Amino acid sequence: MPPKYKPKLMNKIHFPLLLAATLLINACSNKSQTADNSHAQALQNLYFGEEPPGLVPKLFDPKTVSPEGLFEGGAFSPDLKEYYFTRMDQNYEKRSFFVIYNENGIWGNESETDIRWPHFSEDGTMMYGGKWYRERTENGWSELKNQGEFLKDQAHGISRSSKGTYFLGAYRKEDNGPSSLSYSRFINGKYENPVKMSEEINTGKWIAHPFIASDESYLMWDAEREEGHGDNDCYISFRQRDGSWGAAINLGAQINTSSNESSPRVTLDGKYLFFSRGDWKSREDGSTYWVGKTYWVDVQIIENLRPKN
C-alpha cells in the first residue's frame, strides 16, 4: 500500500478510540466540576449560605443570625457545627448571646446561651474565654472552670496556639494605664507568669485582641498607631527564623479605614480572615455606644504580606 494511504487508514482505525477517549475525559471533567461545585456549595452552606469573599472584604451579615440587621459577630466551633454569636437590641443598649447548630448542612435550633465570646482549641476539646474554660464531654460542654491566676490581668482578648501558649491583652500596673500584649507558656506542668511582648508589638494605644496562628508563625492584633488609617487598625507580625517577632505590618487599606477595625481572627478551617469594623456613637445624654459589623476576606491576604525570605 502506498505510504500516502497510511494516514487515512490510521485515522479510520483511531477515530473511535479518540472519540471514546474524548468522551471519557469530558465525563471525568464534568464529574470533577460537579464535585468542585458540590464542595463549594457545601462550604457556602457552612457559612450560612453566604458567598465566600475574595481579596476584597465583604460584610458578613447572614439573615439566619441577623434577621433585623443587629448581628455583631461570632465564633464557629472547630467542626463548624456550632456558632456562638451576639446581637444588640434596637437601641444598642443591651447585648444578647446566642448559639445556633448545624445539622446535616442546615442551620437552626437557635437559643440564648450563657457562653460569651468563646474561643476554641484546635482539636475542639476545649472552649475558653478570658479566665475560664470548658471541656468537651459526652453530654456537651462542661461547667465553667478557672484557668488560673496567671490570667488574672487578662482583659482585652485572648488566643491560644496549638502548643498551648496563650497570648493575651491586659492592663499591667507597670504600664500606668495603657493595655499591652503578653504571652504565657506551659512550662514544667504549669503556666508561667505572662511575659510582656516587645515594642515591635506593643507600640501605640488601645493594644488589644490578639490572634495567634496555630503554629505561632504570625500574630495579629489591633491598635491605634500614628502611621495608621485613623482609629484602631489591624496589624500582623510574622515570626522570624531566630524566634523573634518581625516589625508590625498594617493589614492595609482593603481592611483598615478611618473607622475602627479590630479583632482580626482566622477561621479554624484556615480559609477566611474575619474582623470587626465600626464606630463609637454618642447619645444625647453624652454616653457612647458601639455600632460595629463583621467583615470577612480570603486568608490569602495574609499570605500576600508574608516576607518572602
User: Which tens digits make up the pLDDT trace of 148-192?
Assistant: 999 988 988 999 999 999 999 987 766 665 789 999 999 999 999
Least confident interval from 50-59, 145-154, 258-267 = 145-154
Report the predicted TM-score, pTM, of the whole model to 2 decimal places. 0.83
Is-contact 83 102, C-beta < 8 A?
yes
Is-contact 214 162, C-beta < 8 A?
yes
3-state secondary structure of 187: strand
Q: What is the domain partition of the chain in residue ranges?
A: 3-42, 53-303
Least confident interval from 28-42, 76-90, 182-196, 294-308 = 28-42
Cα distance between residue 249 and residue 86, in whole Å = 30
Is-contact 81 106, C-beta < 8 A?
no
- Residue 223 pLDDT greater than 60, yes or no: yes
Residue 302 is placed in which grid cell?
Answer: 495574609
H or E element, residue 305: none
Least confident interval from 108-112, 151-155, 176-180, 272-276 = 176-180
| Mean pLDDT rounded to a whole number for the chain | 86
Q: Higher model confidence: residue 26 or residue 164?
A: 164
Whose cell is 487578662? That residue is 154
pLDDT confidence of residue 230: 82
User: What angle is formed at CA 54 by the lines to CA 117 and CA 304, rounded to 5 degrees?
Assistant: 90
pLDDT band at 105 (very low <50, low <70, confident <90, very high): confident
3-state secondary structure of 265: strand
Share of the chain above pLDDT 70, in %: 83
Torsion-angle region of 46 (φ positive above 0: left; ψ -120 to 50: alpha; else: beta): alpha
Which of 10-14, 86-90, 216-220, 287-291 has the highest average model confidence (pLDDT)? Answer: 216-220
- For the 53-303 domain, the top CATH level (class) is mainly beta
Query: What are the two backbone dihedrals, phi and then psi, of residue 183, each rounded to the nearest 5 degrees?
Result: -135, 155
